[in-house]
Amino acid sequence: MIGIKVITMIEYEGLLIYTIPEVYEPAEDTYLLAKNLDIQRKDEVLEIGTGTGLIAVYTAQRTKNVVATDINEHAIKCALKNTISNKTYNLELRQGDLFEPVQGEKFDLILFNTPYLPTSEDEKLDDELNAAFDGGEDGRETIDKFIDEVTDYLKESGRVQLVQSSLSDNEKTLQRLEALGFEAEITAREKCFFEEIVVITGKLNKSD
């Protein structure tokens, strides 16, 4: 339909989601975020690193408007197919790294299933999937870049929800968000092999 080869299809909460090898397939961290979304019907939402688009489509069917981005061009194509097949008309897809595709825009809620795995040079993959998991030596390379910029793209009293791992220092993320004026807490946890996956939710407190 749009020039990609569909390999597998999964079902989630009434959605049919196509996946391809070049894109991170929805897993425990994806579903943990989906089950614990802090969304309201009037929200304008940004999702960074949309992958197959599952979170973006699921969110768009429950709120006003969603913009979803990914650095991986294959992810944008895959997410477009899933947007069309699930008849989701209030979702816009843009390719780019982190906040590059939304310069000057502000949102009520920003979502990001971060690349949180500590990754040494010899563990990096030479393909598109590397960006989905590679968090640098300490797992925080992309997380910290995201936190550095996130308040520039949030409306007053905006919220952020990000997924990360106990391997990438959850407490540091909470402290960094709180230093920026967020009320931040871990709102969901799930044990997964050698780590604990968490959803961290931060709400801007403009009264400070």
pLDDT at 140: 87
pLDDT at position 3 is 54
pLDDT for position 83: 97
Instruction: Determine the pLDDT at residue 116.
Output: 63
Q: Give me the residues of the chain with pLDDT under 50, please.
A: 1, 134-135, 208
Residue 128: its pLDDT value, please?
A: 59
**Boundaries of every domain in the chain:** 8-204
Measured in whole angstroms, the distance separating CA 163 from the mean position of its chain's CA atoms is 7
Confidence (pLDDT) at 49: 95
What confidence tens digit (pLDDT) does each residue in 164-185 have? 989 889 999 999 999 999 999 9
The pTM of the full predicted model, rounded to 2 decimals, is 0.90
What pLDDT, on a 0 to 100 scale, did the predictor assign at position 71? 94
Domain covering 8-204 assigned CATH 3.40.50.150 in the classification? yes
Q: Give residue 138's pLDDT.
A: 67
CB 54 within 8 A of CB 30: yes
pLDDT for the residue 1: 45
What are the pLDDT digits (tens) for 51-74? 999 999 999 999 999 999 999 999
- Residue 49: CB partners within 8 Å, gap ≥ 6? 69, 70, 71, 112, 113, 114, 115, 131, 132
Predicted pLDDT at 148: 96
